[in-house]
A and B are shown apart, each in its own frame.
Chain A
């Protein structure tokens, strides 16, 4: 286990280094002078020269990369061109909104999807299974922003049950915070629910065909005990794996969801940076989101033994 953890940590560091190289290389592969790109369209030659100086563009690429990466490790993500503020400060300001949205979505999605997947597997081939899986196929095929606008139209504009857009911090009260996040959570979570529910069903079906399930049934265990105690526990590893992989889906979805619902989060920060061509911000958001994805999947890999003691490395 210790050896596996070390090896897995090692590969995580390598992957993060590669992500760093990609993000760094994009700026230098793109046609044109990196300093001019970073300075933006309306920069004076003096500003471009000062950015060239600041980035050390005269040094060899390898030196530049090591210096850039070293700064990243110390939380120095560069300075936003548009607002002249350190990128890490901007990301910090936007973090609570994005964290609220993603944590709620993961919780909502995992609970709904595992319940739906278990039910579908229990009634495999029946009407319930068919409708749940049909719904999953639809959820997997409808883009976040289409779902988002449909929800806003019905629940906010027509029924007036929930606020249309915006975000209220948790410090202003639980309900104001939650009411603004319900629709974004459902919109963002739908594809994720569909993905997890399909894998849960498939994994449960495999386990339910095992001999020990028949044995449990023969000794008179209740349906709930068989489904949740015997089967779900043994079906856990693929489910947890897909929860980790699905985070990639979630990250791209966050960018769109925050735009649809006008939530001032990290994804919105990146979208707004397109118009201003504020490249340091885009770079910083890319590193943060990729890092979150890599770390979540590291944690997922390391929890396998907790879920299933039969897993040996």
Chain B
């Protein structure tokens, strides 16, 4: 009896490291994301001041003093790149979490109540057909912008995919024997939805959530680049690139470093998503 317990424990402990070794995309993507979150969180401790201007050192090439060079106002590109990650990560994560939450909140009843379903699905079709960048541009033109507006603007066109996913899972789960058994046993609808159907959505939603996060980071960067994103006083990878476009020939590092940071972060999130997808449900790989 005790032998069995010990072996189960050691299997579990070996499990974590062998899991990471077997799923290289999850460990690689996860490590890069974790490093970027740590860098963004502790930015004030090591990156220096992203806003201090110095006209004496405008557009300097990367050096020991300024690892990523300086921009047209003499600001340190390294500091701005590290601080810029904060907005990308914060918006990517909050849009992903909100999209998943709304997906569950709207998708669960939509999959269960036919009337509600028809209405919700048409509204989702409509939302999906409005290009996210244009929706954001119009929201920013109508209001005064700011982070909550940017999050709303990215969330609205992203959320329908979550709703559709949850609804599809509910539709197939309600035909399964264990749900029928619960209904036959007299369980109330609320309980059937929350206790028996909801857990089936967790794995696919985790995967889809990472894709939403990647997509939200890209849209935020594009909005900042177009001048329709967060206020220009906050450094973001998008507005760093926009404000340096005139100096592309003179000081390409101003565009290179935030551009590479953006691509690496999105690639890492997508890798994590692909790895999770293949690990959690190989069948899902084909249906998505």
Residues of A within 8 A of B (CB): 11, 14-15, 18-19, 21-23, 26-27, 30-31, 37, 137-138, 140-146, 149-150, 152-153, 157, 202, 206, 248, 251-252, 255-256, 259-260, 270-271, 273-275, 277, 279, 282-283, 285-286, 289-290, 293-294
CB pair B259 A149 closer than 8 Å: yes
Asked if B110 CB lies within 8 Å of chain A CBs, one says no
Task: Give chain A residues whose Cβ lies under 8 Å from the Cβ of B274.
Answer: 137
Q: Given the complex of chains A and B, what is the CA–CA distance between A138 and B245 in angstroms? A: 22
Given contacts A14-B122, A157-B249, contact A286 B226 (CB under 8 A): no
CB pair B129 A19 closer than 8 Å: yes
* Closest A residue to B139 using CB positions: A26
Given contacts A142-B266, A293-B129, contact A274 B227 (CB under 8 A): yes
**B227-253 vs A: 1/0 string, CB under 8 Å?**
110000000001001000100110010
Given contacts A141-B270, A274-B137, A274-B228, contact A153 B131 (CB under 8 A): no
Q: Given the complex of chains A and B, what is the CA–CA distance between A313 and B241 in angstroms? A: 49
Asked if B130 CB lies within 8 Å of chain A CBs, one says yes
17 pairs of residues in contact across A and B, judged by CB atoms under 8 Å: A15-B122, A15-B126, A37-B142, A137-B270, A138-B267, A142-B259, A142-B262, A143-B218, A143-B259, A149-B245, A252-B131, A252-B133, A252-B219, A255-B133, A256-B226, A283-B138, A286-B134
Q: Given the complex of chains A and B, what is the CA–CA distance between A145 and B229 in angstroms? A: 15
CB pair B143 A30 closer than 8 Å: yes
Beyond A145-B241, A149-B245, A259-B226, list 16 extra A-B contacts (CB 8 Å): A14-B125, A15-B126, A26-B139, A30-B139, A143-B218, A143-B259, A153-B252, A153-B255, A271-B226, A274-B140, A274-B226, A279-B142, A283-B138, A285-B134, A286-B131, A289-B134
Interface centre among B134, B214, B226, B270 (most CB of A within 10 A): B134
Task: Give chain B residues whose Cβ lies under 8 Å from the Cβ of A285.
Answer: 134
CB pair A146 B241 closer than 8 Å: yes
CB pair B259 A146 closer than 8 Å: yes
**Top-4 shortest CB links A-B:** A18-B126, A146-B259, A30-B142, A141-B266
Asked if B188 CB lies within 8 Å of chain A CBs, one says no
Indicate which residue in A15, A30, A144, A252 contacts B129 across the interface (CB closer than 8 Å): A15
Interface majority SS (helix, strand, loop, mixed), chain B: helix
Distance between A39 CB and nearest chain B CB, rounded to angstroms: 13
CB pair A26 B219 closer than 8 Å: no
Distance between A241 CB and nearest chain B CB, rounded to angstroms: 13
Indicate which residue in B126, B133, B248, B271 contacts A22 across the interface (CB closer than 8 Å): B126
* Closest B residue to A279 using CB positions: B141
CB pair A143 B262 closer than 8 Å: yes
Distance between A36 CB and nearest chain B CB, rounded to angstroms: 11
Task: Give chain B residues whose Cβ lies under 8 Å from the Cβ of A259.
Answer: 225-226
Asked if B132 CB lies within 8 Å of chain A CBs, one says yes
Indicate which residue in B222, B266, B286 contacts A145 across the interface (CB closer than 8 Å): B222
Distance between B213 CB and nearest chain A CB, rounded to angstroms: 12
* Closest B residue to A26 using CB positions: B138
CB pair A248 B241 closer than 8 Å: no
CB pair B126 A143 closer than 8 Å: no
Distance between A260 CB and nearest chain B CB, rounded to angstroms: 8
Interface size in chain B (residues, C-beta < 8 A): 48
Distance between B84 CB and nearest chain A CB, rounded to angstroms: 13
Q: Given the complex of chains A and B, what is the CA–CA distance between A274 and B229 in angstroms? A: 11
Interface residues of B in 244-288 (CB under 8 A from A): 245, 248-249, 252, 255-256, 259-260, 262-263, 266-267, 270-271, 274, 285-286
Distance between A192 CB and nearest chain B CB, rounded to angstroms: 13
* Closest B residue to A191 using CB positions: B218
Q: Given the complex of chains A and B, what is the CA–CA distance between A252 and B134 in angstroms? A: 7
CB pair B241 A137 closer than 8 Å: no
Q: Given the complex of chains A and B, what is the CA–CA distance between A83 and B262 in angstroms? A: 37
Q: Given the complex of chains A and B, what is the CA–CA distance between A313 and B22 in angstroms? A: 43
Distance between B161 CB and nearest chain A CB, rounded to angstroms: 11
Task: Give chain B residues whose Cβ lies under 8 Å from the Cβ of A273.
Answer: 137, 141
Task: Give chain B residues whose Cβ lies under 8 Å from the Cβ of A251.
Answer: 131, 133-134
CB pair A289 B131 closer than 8 Å: yes
Interface residues of B in 166-216 (CB under 8 A from A): 214
Given contacts A252-B133, A270-B137, A274-B228, contact A146 B142 (CB under 8 A): no
Q: Given the complex of chains A and B, what is the CA–CA distance between A150 and B253 in angstroms? A: 11
Q: Given the complex of chains A and B, what is the CA–CA distance between A273 and B259 in angstroms? A: 26
Q: Given the complex of chains A and B, what is the CA–CA distance between A145 and B226 in angstroms? A: 10
Q: Given the complex of chains A and B, what is the CA–CA distance between A15 and B249 in angstroms? A: 46
Given contacts A137-B270, A143-B263, contact A274 B131 (CB under 8 A): no
CB pair B130 A150 closer than 8 Å: no
Task: Give chain A residues whose Cβ lies under 8 Å from the Cβ of B134.
Answer: 251-252, 255, 270, 282, 285-286, 289
CB pair A22 B270 closer than 8 Å: no
CB pair A286 B222 closer than 8 Å: no
Asked if B147 CB lies within 8 Å of chain A CBs, one says no
